[in-house]
A and B are shown apart, each in its own frame.
Chain A
Amino acid sequence: MKITDELVDYLGQLSRLELSEGEKAGLKHDLSDILDYMDQLAELDTAGKKEMSHPFDAVNCFRTDQVKNGDDRQAVLSNAPAKKGDYFKVHKTVGEEA
């Protein structure tokens, strides 16, 4: 499978990764090799075969909606890279023109 520069850029966008030129070149080469290897699946006739996304047939697993954990707001916030009061802090997301 031929991997183009555009495809690497697009996948970088989907993956939210900013890649250096060196990383892009490496990934272009690696992805192409790996996908060639994966392409051998095409040999196998899977027409009509069921897709298996989970080891066991998934069944809904219900429990009562009951709060069991305590208020660990401060413990959770203690991992925040930036916070303000009881909130996670990020850059302004709404522009002036919006």
Chain B
Amino acid sequence: MEREMTAQAAGAGDLLELSALQLGACIQKKEIGVEEAAQAYLDAIAQSDSEIHSYITVMEEEALQTARQVQKKIDSGELTGPLSGVPAAIKDNMCTKGTLTSAASNILSNFVPPYDAEAVARLKESGAVILGKLNMDEFAMGGSTETSHYGITKNPWDLSRVPGGSSGGSAAAVAARLVPYALGSDTGGSIRQPCAFCNLTGIKPTYGAVSRYGLLAYASSLDQIGPVGRDIKDCAAVLSVIAGKDAKDSTSIIDRAFDMEAALSGSVKGKKVGMPAGYFGDGLSPQVRQRIFEAADVLRSLGAEVEEFDLPNVDYAVPAYYIIACAEASSNLSRYDGVKYGYRSAEADDLLGIYYKSRSEGFGTEVKRRIMLGSFVLSSGYFDAYYKKALQVRGMIKAAFDRAFETYDMILSPVSPTTAYEIGGQISDPIAMYMADIYTVSVNLSGIPAVALPCGKDDAGLPVGMQLIGRAFSEETLVAAAADYQRATEFHKAQAPHAAKGGRR
């Protein structure tokens, strides 16, 4: 059935309509050429990305060259993976050998890494054709992609609105049909929230499931790379490729491969799903609340047992998160000093001046704010009251999730309290911006996995996302539930009004 639809969809025309796995299947069957697929997407980027602005760098020449090499390896039977030959794009905070990797910051506006991030290397080995690097909030600090040094990315559902962030370029590019799937990174919701804003599916894997080697560090104990895709099947396939132990990242602790094939044919039947009552109070848009309750009903109709429960300390997650994230950021970003790589100010006349001026001219407002905050909470006299306290609260939050998972197989929650907001709507109010992360940051603090997926729209026609959270390394359980949900619903198939069309065969 699935296979017939693949052939039909391809035969009917629009190449950009195909999911990553459908396109990969067509490539294996020689119905579509690897170069043809890459060219169709490059054409779409050339035509439409001027209005979306999801890419910082488009690697046209390199992509076509790779496409020809990959085609040869497919023809010779060397590459047989489900994603071999399928185009992909990478958030600009992951190193790509020989291609600008800026983290959307002026301070790295000339940085060309001499190596690939491990996740990127694994995609390349599996035959991915990298089309380019995607826009983001500077150093992944933000939830709207408005803090990018390279300008704002627009939401393909409504060009006056933000695509979310920090992986906003990744989400906008996938939603606008400018790439079949992308890699994002998630420190406090940066994969899940843009997926919710752009009607996409995304996975924030368990901390340690994907190597962070070559990911420009923001908050090292929270950062994790994951897929942004059109549906859970694509995301599961990408995660299978990038997950796994890597000697170059001592925190990559996974000891087994995910069995996504089994997971995708699994179900949510008989699973216990908890909804934290505290997540559905004031501050949550009534329409988002309604969509999540409807999603709960769908899960019930699929045989899951869904009930509300009391998750303690919900309100303390955001302050604890920002203390810890800023502390780690202030330390991590001290490496950007204008000496070995990146931007160096021309104004400096001594060594200290190189540090001060390069950093002051190189970092944007939000990054400076977080470095200053981090320096504060780590400074003598304030360390105990803020940083140490936040680490204790982090432990209490994780303990609360551990307790919840003694009863529940997974937790259902909103991703964001609102749908995509207007460009310029929150950027001048940091606290409002931070508080919007209430449903996502606990997952990073606890190191556990979560899947974000579409569950309908609000009255304005903007996508609403739901989130399934699981215990550490329960990705297969979450993928099974998400796959079951997407078999029963059509929300993930809705196409953005500003999605590219073309590649007609």
Is B202 in the interface zone, CB < 8 Å from A? no
CA gap between A12 and B355 in the complex, in Å: 12
Pair A80/B221 contact, Cβ less than 8 Å: no
Which residues of the other chain, A, contact B391 by a CB distance below 8 angstroms?
51-53
Which one of B115, B353, B394, B430 lies within 8 Å of A91 (CB-CB)? B353
From B206, which residue of chain A is reached at the shortest CB distance?
Answer: A55
Flag B209-243 by CB within 8 Å of A: 1 or 0 each: 00000000000010000000000000000000000
From A37, which residue of chain B is reached at the shortest CB distance?
Answer: B431
A-B contact count (CB 8 A): 160
CA gap between A34 and B372 in the complex, in Å: 12
Pair A55/B221 contact, Cβ less than 8 Å: yes
Is A18 in the interface zone, CB < 8 Å from B? yes
Pair A31/B376 contact, Cβ less than 8 Å: yes
Interface residues of A in 1-49 (CB under 8 A from B): 7-8, 10-12, 14-19, 23, 26-27, 30-31, 33-35, 37-38, 40-42, 44, 46, 49
Is A81 in the interface zone, CB < 8 Å from B? yes
CA gap between A88 and B463 in the complex, in Å: 50
Pair B207/A56 contact, Cβ less than 8 Å: yes
Identify whether the interface residues of A are mostly helix, strand, loop, or mixed.
loop
Pair B360/A17 contact, Cβ less than 8 Å: yes
Residue among B110, B115, B313, B373 facing the most chain A CB atoms (10 A cut-off): B373
Pair A16/B342 contact, Cβ less than 8 Å: no
Pair B253/A30 contact, Cβ less than 8 Å: no
Which residues of the other chain, B, contact A46 by a CB distance below 8 angstroms?
389, 392-393, 396
Is B57 in the interface zone, CB < 8 Å from A? no
Size of the chain B interface, CB-CB below 8 angstroms: 70
Report A21 CB to chain B, min CB distance, Å: 13
Report B37 CB to chain A, min CB distance, Å: 31
From B363, which residue of chain A is reached at the shortest CB distance?
Answer: A17
Which residues of the other chain, B, contact A33 by a CB distance below 8 angstroms?
430-431
CA gap between A12 and B356 in the complex, in Å: 9
Residue among A15, A34, A61 facing the most chain B CB atoms (10 A cut-off): A15
Report B433 CB to chain A, min CB distance, Å: 10
Which residues of the other chain, A, contact B338 by a CB distance below 8 angstroms?
81
Pair A11/B375 contact, Cβ less than 8 Å: yes
Residue among A40, A50, A53 facing the most chain B CB atoms (10 A cut-off): A53
CA gap between A82 and B394 in the complex, in Å: 43
Pair A34/B339 contact, Cβ less than 8 Å: no
CA gap between A78 and B342 in the complex, in Å: 11
Interface residues of B in 349-401 (CB under 8 A from A): 349-351, 353-357, 359-360, 363, 365, 368-369, 371-376, 379, 385-386, 388-396, 398
Give the interface of B toward A (CB within 8 A).
110-112, 114-115, 207-208, 221, 247, 250-251, 253, 313, 315-316, 319-320, 322-323, 330, 334, 337-344, 348-351, 353-357, 359-360, 363, 365, 368-369, 371-376, 379, 385-386, 388-396, 398, 430-431, 434, 446-448, 472
